Amino acid sequence: MALIFAMALLWESARIIGGYSELLLPSISVVAYSLLMEKAELLKNAAYSLKLIGFGLAVAVVLAMLLAILCMSSRALQGLFTDVMAVMHPLPGIAILPVAILWFGIGVNSVVFVIVFSAVWPLLNHFYTGFRSIPKNQVEVGKNLGLSGAKLAFYVMLPASLPHILGGLRTGWARAWQASVAAELVFGAAGGHGGLGWYLYKKRFMMETPGVFAGMLVIIAIGLVVEYFIFATLENLTVKKLKQVID
């Protein structure tokens, strides 16, 4: 809270001391007014972005889960994916956009592809690490109780690797969020379809600087809420009990 206040102070003083025009650096009150006025529009676009991310992330989670399970069951695949991951991991998701456009054309499919691509590698990495870190004894206790296959995975392997899975979701979400805004920004140039990135592009195009700032604030706010509210809560509910899993 103090941090937000300090930043607001810095913003305003920079504006006044630097004497920047409203077009380059609007005052907080103007941005706030624009936030208020454009509430419906912003919400609609935020919902649109989140819907795409939700879908993309879900696809990426399922894909990463399957790949992680495959890696667990085969030595050869394990080597292959370790190499592929080493190459893909440092590649920013948005860098795949040109390829996505070639394959899927301009539109929603490409954005979803970029989201899935950005999220799937960190997810796979975390899931795989998580599965490998499960103590053998716990899996065998599960088997001894008569569990096998999907039941063993659901009741034992999943909770046993939950800290790693949460870590993966956290990174995957951050990557997907960045990539989707970036992808939408690019598509703003190409006809547009919706989403916060597209909103930013549109406002910039029309020189509505307060709107650009309002859009950025919403992007920051969503990032903060997901990071510090959703994930922090999830981790408090589980890691609190699970801290011993990592040791």
Partner 1 sequence: MPLIRVESLTKIYSSTKEGFAGIREVSFEVNEGEVVGVIGRSGCGKTTLLRCIAGFESSDSGKILLDGKSVSRPGPDRFMIFQGLDQLFPWLSLRGNLIFAMKTVNKDANMKELQRKAEYYLELVGLSEWGDCYPYQLSGGMKQRAFLARALSVNPRLLLLDEPFGSLDALGRKAMQDLLLRLWGKTGTTIILVTHDIDECIRLSDRILVFTKGTLKFNLINPLPRPRMSEDPAYMDFYGKISRILEKDANLKWANAVLR
Residues that bind partner 1 (CB under 8 A): 135, 137-138, 140-141, 143-147, 155-156, 159-160, 162, 238, 241-245, 247
**89 vs 143 by CB, closer to partner 1:** 143
Least separation in angstroms between residue 181's CB and partner 1 is: 35
Choose between 51 and 143: whose C-beta lies nearer to partner 1.
Answer: 143
Q: Which residue has the tokens 């939408």?
A: 184
Minimum distance from CB of 158 to partner 1 (Å)? 10
Based on CB atoms, which residue is closest to partner 1, 25 or 234? 234
Q: Report, in Å, the least distance between residue 194 CB and partner 1.
A: 40
Task: Give the amino acid at 230.
Answer: I
48: number of Cβ within 10 Å? 19
Residue with Cβ nearer partner 1 (27 or 138) = 138
Beta carbon of residue 192, minimum distance to partner 1 (angstroms, whole number): 46
Min separation Cβ 231 and partner 1, Å: 18
Measured from the CB atom, the residue of 157 and 176 that comes closer to partner 1 is 157
